[in-house]
Amino acid sequence: MARRTRVTLLAGGTGGAKLARGLALLGDAVDLTVIANVADDTEMHGLHVSPDIDAICYHLAGIADTERGWGIAGDTRSAHAMLERLGAPAWFTIGDADLATSIERTRRLRDGQRLTEVVTAMASALRIGARVLPATDDRYRTVVVTDAGPLEFQDYFVRLRQEPEVRELTFDGADTARPTNEMLEAIAGADLVVIGPSNPLVSIAPIVALPGVRSAIEAARGSRVAVSPIVAGAALKGPAARMLASLGHEVSARGVARIYAGLVERFVIDLADADAAPSIEALGLAVDVLPTIMSGDEQARALAAAVVEPATGA
């Protein structure tokens, strides 16, 4: 049997989680580690909520609500309704089963476990075969500086529905947060490092900005590839396109390629953006043109197979 290809994926909540699922569906061919963004974590109802870690775990466990785009399929909302009745802040909806995840995570953290240990134990309980590693165990939060003032990420994203104009992104904890040894080892030991099709500014940038992570990726012995989260000049979901524009980036696959030039050597763009290939190659990147819209398991698996294929047997 051929050796398993060690793949380490950097991911946020939606696009990255779907690609994680696609990679996991490749079965024994791939030994998968997913490094999850934690900079959009928050405290809600006294609980530690980790939207990206949970999205990744739910996708890998096959229980994600892929229609709504967050939470667990078929989840109910009794707890939310009661919390609202009791006068709790109700702008952040968490389903009942989803709430259980945050309750158990918070219990383990209060018992003194590192977030890495917590996620490892919970992923194992969900029978997830891949390793899911938070980028850091430390407190590390995106601050969205907007025309309405500095906002916590979920405040901007959910409560204010991404309406304020973004002026700047900063990371609270940037001076103190450290990447975990586990995640640095997963980058160093990978045959292939993949930057998933996630928001480059609030999902991938916080991971790469942790001390030593950019240089670890640059020094990785494996090959490095990114998948564009911008397709035909738009985000499939969320504020990525507007954020890129507000912060002076071109809203296109090429605009994202510019952000990742130097960090990866290969860039995957959608068939819809095939015309952009020469201008991305001019940035010094090899370009693969593929169907990148993962509307279901089949598309996610096919994209994952095409992303991994050049690294097979490395």
Q: Which helix (H) or strand (E) holds 143?
A: strand 141-146
| Complex with ligand GDP: residue 78 or 295, whichever CB lies closer | 295
Among 6, 18, 59, 80, binds ligand GDP (CB under 6 A): 18
Distance, first Cα to last Cα, the chain: 14
Cβ neighbours of 161 (radius 10 Å) = 10
What is the number of residues in the chain?
A: 314
Q: Whose Cβ is closer to ligand GDP: residue 69's or residue 189's?
A: 69
Binding mask 183-222 for ligand GDP (x = CB under 6 A): --------------xxx---x-------------------
Q: Based on the shown chain and the rule CB under 6 A, indicate whether residue 5 belongs to the binding site for ligand GDP.
A: no
* Gap between the Cα atoms of 248 and 312, Å rounded: 37
Among candidates 176, 310, 134, 288, which has minimal Cα distance to 226? 288
Site membership for ligand GDP, residue 36 (CB under 6 A): no
Taking the least distance from each CB to ligand GDP, the nearer of 4 and 258 is: 258
Among 292, 301, 304, 307, binds ligand GDP (CB under 6 A): 292
Q: Looking at beta carbons only, is 170 or 176 nearer to ligand GDP?
A: 170
Of the listed pieces 9-17, 79-87, 169-177, 280-288, which binds ligand GDP according to CB under 6 A?
9-17
Q: Is 66 in the site for ligand GDP (CB under 6 A)?
A: no
> Of the ranges 23-31, 180-188, 210-218, 227-235, which one interacts with ligand GDP (CB under 6 A)?
227-235
Under rule CB under 6 A, residue 231 binds ligand GDP: yes
- Residues 154 to 183 in contact with ligand GDP, rule: CB under 6 A: none
The one segment of 8-16, 88-96, 144-152, 176-184 that binds ligand GDP by CB under 6 A? 8-16
Q: Does 15 bind ligand GDP (CB under 6 A)?
A: yes
Of 113 and 299, CB closest to ligand GDP? 299
The answer to whether 34 contacts ligand GDP (rule: CB under 6 A) is: no
Q: Does 16 participate in binding ligand GDP (rule CB under 6 A)?
A: yes
Q: Do the strands 266-270 and 223-227 form a parallel or antiparallel pair, or are they unpaired?
A: parallel
Runs of H (alpha helix) within the chain: 15-24, 51-61, 78-85, 96-110, 115-125, 153-154, 181-188, 205-209, 213-219, 240-246, 253-260, 277-281, 297-308
Reduced 3-state DSSP string for 25-81: CCHHHEEEEEEECCCCCEEECCEEECHHHHHHHHHHHCCECCCCCCCECCCCCHHHH
Contacts for 111-115: CB closer than 8 Å, 24+ residues apart: 114/180, 115/38, 115/50
Radius of gyration over alpha carbons of the chain, in Å? 19
Query: Distance between CA atoms of 183 and 185, rounded to whole angstroms?
Result: 5
Residues that bind ligand GDP (CB under 6 A): 12-16, 18, 52, 197-199, 203, 227-229, 231, 235-238, 240, 292-294
